């Protein structure tokens, strides 16, 4: 049997067809293939995160998926994110296998990557490794890239989680953002960028939020492998 897919459309209607015929534009307008559920006492941690990349909520089913989602949202090369994007059904040895990946992303260059999220400790389990290799083969045969994401660097994640609090561009006046970009152009550190912006706008607290938003946008960049601080060295993106 040729690999098949199923999508969940609005109204919980399922669409099925040959996987080779599935187009990315259909995936990104579909509903998550699995329904996210919340109930008291559930063992997994699920929810919805408002992604600046999509301007909409994207679902996750674990804290690790949320961590990966934060980094995808922070990646300036990612332009679209779909959670639980589709189900793929294909032969797996002498039986039929099915799999719902965790994310599908579109990159700025038009490339597409399907992402599965697994704790690093599970990757050496034979059954998990076999299932991921099978999924990788089916997805790559469709012509899409495939990757596995595990626990990110904890310092990087902490910095990105902090900057995500400043991710909404709609909170800021565009003229003020322009002033912050101009003021930060020659700044050596985060603190220097804040002081320069504060001198122009006359409000240190507001200047700080603007600079942190620029760090989220990666208009200015610092070494996020170390704890973000006033003395973090900057480079213009």
Distance CA 129, CA 127 (A): 6
**pTM of the shown model:** 0.93
Considering the domain architecture, whether residues 9 and 116 belong to the same structural domain is answered as: yes
d(CA 234, CA 44): 38
Give the tens place of pLDDT for each residue, 67-87. Answer: 999 999 999 999 999 999 999
Q: Indicate whether 16 and 40 sit together in one domain.
A: yes
Residues in the chain: 237
Q: How many domains does the chain have?
A: 2
Q: Are 123 and 182 part of one and the same domain?
A: no
Of 100, 119, 149, the residue that ends a domain is 149
Residue 92: beta bridge partners?
95
93 and 36 housed in the same domain: yes
60 by Cβ neighbours in 10 Å (0-12 / 13-18 / 19+) ranks as buried
Per-residue model confidence (pLDDT) at position 35: 74
CATH number at residue 36: 3.40.1350.10
Task: Label residue 172 exposed, middle or buried (CB < 10 Å: 0-12, 13-18, 19+).
Answer: middle
**Which domain-ending residue is among 149, 179, 196?**
149
Q: Tell me: do 100 and 167 sit in the same domain.
A: no
Residue 1's pLDDT is: 79
In terms of residue numbers, what domain contains 36? Answer: 4-149
Are 114 and 221 members of one domain? no
Buried b or exposed e, range 25-55, using 16+ CB within 10 angstroms: ebbbebbbbeeeeeeeeeeeebebbebbbbe
- Residue 176 and residue 114 share a domain: no
Whether residue 37 is found in the same domain as residue 84: yes
pLDDT at 80: 98
Provide the angle, in degrees to the nearest 10, between the axes of the packed helices 154-163 and 63-74. Answer: 70
């Amino acid at each position: 049997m040729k690999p098949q897919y199923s999508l969940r459309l609005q109204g919980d209607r399922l669409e099925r067809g040959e996987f080779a015929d599935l187009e990315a534009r259909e995936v990104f307008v579909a509903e998550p293939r699995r329904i996210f559920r919340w109930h008291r006492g559930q063992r997994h941690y699920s929810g919805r995160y408002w992604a600046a990349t999509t301007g909409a909520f994207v679902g996750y089913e674990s804290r690790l998926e949320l961590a990966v989602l934060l980094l995808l949202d922070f990646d300036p090369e990612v332009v679209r994110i779909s959670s639980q994007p589709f189900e793929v059904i294909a032969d797996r040895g002498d039986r039929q296998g099915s799999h719902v990946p965790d994310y599908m992303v579109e990159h700025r260059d038009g490339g597409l990557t399907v992402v599965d999220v697994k704790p690093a400790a599970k990757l050496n389990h034979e059954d998990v490794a076999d299932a991921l290799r099978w999924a990788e083969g089916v997805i790559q045969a469709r012509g899409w890239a495939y990757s596995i994401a595990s626990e990110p660097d904890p310092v990087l994640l902490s910095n990105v989680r902090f900057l995500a609090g400043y991710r909404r561009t709609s909170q800021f006046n565009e003229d003020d953002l322009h002033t912050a970009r101009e003021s930060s152009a020659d700044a050596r550190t985060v603190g220097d960028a804040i002081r320069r912006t504060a001198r122009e706008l006359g409000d240190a607290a507001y200047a700080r939020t603007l600079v942190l938003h620029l760090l989220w946008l990666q208009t200015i960049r610092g070494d996020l492998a170390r704890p973000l601080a006033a003395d973090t060295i900057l480079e213009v993106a």
